[in-house]
Amino acid sequence: MSTAPSPTKDEAPKAEPAPTASPGPWASLRPLVLRLHFYAGVLVAPFLLVAAVTGFLYAGAFQAEKLVYAHEMTVAEVGDTKLPVSEQVSAARKAHPEGTVSAVRPSPEADATTRVLLSGAKGVDPDHALAVFVDPYTAKVRGALEQYGSTGALPLRTWIDDFHRDLRLGDTGRLYSEFAASWLWVIAAGGLALWFSRRRALRKVRGTSGRRRTLGLHGTVGLWTAAGFLFLSATGLTWSTYAGANIDELRTSLGQATPSVSATAGGDHAGHGAAASAGGGEHGVGLDKVLSAARAEGLTDPVEIVPPADADSAYVVRQIQRSWPEKQDSVAVDPGTGEVTDVLRFADYPLLAKLTRWGIDLHTGILFGLVNQLALMALALALVLLIVWGYRMWWQRGRGSAFGRPLPRGAWQQVPPQILVPCVAVIAVLGCFVPLLGIPLAAFVVADVLYGEIAHRRARASASPT
C-alpha cells in the first residue's frame, strides 16, 4: 500500500482562523447611550438643579408652615365643646364680609382652627381663596391668609410651590419643570445601564482618586437613588402641561379617569332652599345638618363642605386627608331635605386613579408625612451632588473640547436592525407622548451629527499634507 507523501513545509495545511465573536447588542448600543447620557447631563442638568433646590425647599415647607402660621392654624386654648359650624362661619363673615363662601373646613383636631374659604375677596388671586381661621370653641377669628390648592397651602408654601412648578412665570414657566421631569428618567436609566456595564473592579470608590473617584461617587449615589428619580419623573409628568394632558386622555380612554360625586340636587327637591344669605354658605337645611348627614355616611375628619353652586346643585362634603391611609370619600347632600343623594368611595376608584392619587401625594411629600418629606429632601440633595459630580467629571476629562468626543462614524450602523428599529419606534412614540423629551432629543441628535461631521473634517484637514 502506498502512502501519501508528507507535505512539505510550504505545503503544510494552514489552520483556519477562529471566527471572531460579533459584539453583543449592548456593545453596539453603549456609545449611543453614553453620548445621550452626556448630552442630557450637561444640557438638562441646570433645569434639574433648579427643580432639586426648589423641591428641597418645598418638602421642608410643610413643617415650616406649621411654625410660621401657628397662630392662625391652632387655637389659643382647647375648650370642652365646639360651636356649630354655621356659627363659626357667621363669625368669619362678620369679620370678612367680602366675597362668597366657597368651602368650609371644620376643625379636624382638638387644637386646630376652622377654615372658612372665601372666593372673590378683594386683593386675592382669582385662583386662590381667602382662608379665615376661626376658633371653634369661641368663634373668634384668629386671622386670614391666602390659600391655594386642595392641600391647603398657605402663602409660604404657595410661593415655593409656584417657584418649583413654573419659576413664578405662569404657563410658560411650567415648561421648565416638564422638561426636567421628561429627562430625569432618561438620565437615571441611562446612568444605571452604563454603571452596570462597567467591570466590577472599576465601580469601587475606595482607594481611587481624580476622575475615577468622582465617577465612582457619581455612579454609587446614582445607583442608590435611581428608583426615586424614576418615580419623581413619572409622577411629575402626570400633572405637566403636555405630557400630563396626554396621560389624562389615555386614562380617560381606558376608563381610569378620577371619578367625582354627582352634585345635582335630587328630584323634586331641586332648588329648595337654594338661596344663600349674602354668600354666607348657608343653603336650605344649613351646614350643620349637611355635616351630620355626611358623618352618618362615615365621613370622618378632615372634611371640606362645598356649598351648592346654583339652585339645582347639592352640597358636596368630601374627605381631604391625603396622608396614609387616604380619606377621599365624598357625598352629595340635598340642600332642601338634608338627604344624601350620591356617595363616592375612594375604594371604588379605578386602579389608575388610585395610583395617580397616591403617586402625586408621595411626590409632594404628603402621603407619609414627615418621613416622606425627609426622603424627598434626601433625594433632592443627592440630585444636586450628582449634578456637581457630573460637571466635575466633565472638567476633569480635560480634553479641551466643550462637547467631548463625537460619536465614531458609523455608530448607528453598528446597531443591529432588530434592535435599532424597535428602539427608534419606541423613541418616536415616547417623543409624541412626551414632547419635551422628543423635540430636544431630535435636536441633540442633529447637533451631534453636525458636530461630529465638523470634527471629522477638521481631523482630515489637519492630517492631509500641505
The pLDDT of residue 465: 66
Task: State the residue for C-alpha cell 354668600.
Answer: 279
The pLDDT of residue 452: 74
Enumerate residues 6+ apart whose C-beta is below 8 A from 64.
Answer: 156, 157
Q: How confident is the model at residue 208 (pLDDT cuts 50, 70, 90)?
A: confident
The pLDDT of residue 40: 87
Cα–Cα distance, 94 to 89 (Å, whole number): 9
Mean pLDDT of 292-304: 98
* Domain architecture of the chain: domains with CATH: 26-62+167-251+369-458 (no CATH), 81-153 (3.10.450), 260-348 (no CATH)
Per-residue pLDDT tens over the stretch 409-459: 556 667 788 888 888 898 889 999 999 999 999 888 888 778 777 877 887
Q: Which residue has the higher pLDDT, 274 or 52?
A: 52
The pLDDT of residue 414: 72
C-alpha cell at 7: 507535505
The pLDDT of residue 124: 95
Enumerate residues 6+ apart whose C-beta is below 8 A from 441.
Answer: 36, 427, 431
The pLDDT of residue 300: 97
Per-residue pLDDT tens over the stretch 23-73: 567 777 888 888 889 888 888 999 999 999 999 999 999 999 999 999 999
| pLDDT exceeds 80 at position 274 | no
Residue 215 one-letter amino acid = L
Per-residue pLDDT tens over the stretch 350-362: 999 999 999 999 9
Cα–Cα distance, 113 to 61 (Å, whole number): 20
Residue 46 neighbours by CB distance under 10 Å: 13
The pLDDT of residue 29: 84
Per-residue pLDDT tens over the stretch 352-411: 999 999 999 999 999 999 999 999 999 999 999 999 999 998 888 764 455 555 555 556
- List the alpha helices (DSSP H) in 21-132: 25-68, 70-73, 85-95
| pLDDT exceeds 90 at position 304 | yes
The pLDDT of residue 448: 75
Share of the chain above pLDDT 90, in %: 68
Longest dimension (CA), the chain: 128
The pLDDT of residue 15: 46
| pLDDT exceeds 80 at position 463 | no
Q: Which helix or strand (DSSP H or E) is residue 361 part of?
A: helix 351-363
The pLDDT of residue 198: 81
The pLDDT of residue 1: 46
| pLDDT exceeds 90 at position 326 | yes
Cα–Cα distance, 282 to 271 (Å, whole number): 14
Contact (Cβ atoms closer than 8 angstroms) between residue 322 and residue 367: yes
Cα–Cα distance, 360 to 72 (Å, whole number): 27
| pLDDT exceeds 90 at position 94 | yes
The pLDDT of residue 2: 47
Per-residue pLDDT tens over the stretch 219-252: 999 999 999 999 999 999 998 999 999 999 999 9
Residue 266 one-letter amino acid = G
Name the pairing type of β-strands 129-134 and 141-147.
antiparallel
The pLDDT of residue 204: 74
Query: 234 exposed, middle or buried (CB, 10 Å; 0-12, 13-18, 19+)?
Result: middle
Mean pLDDT of 324-343: 97
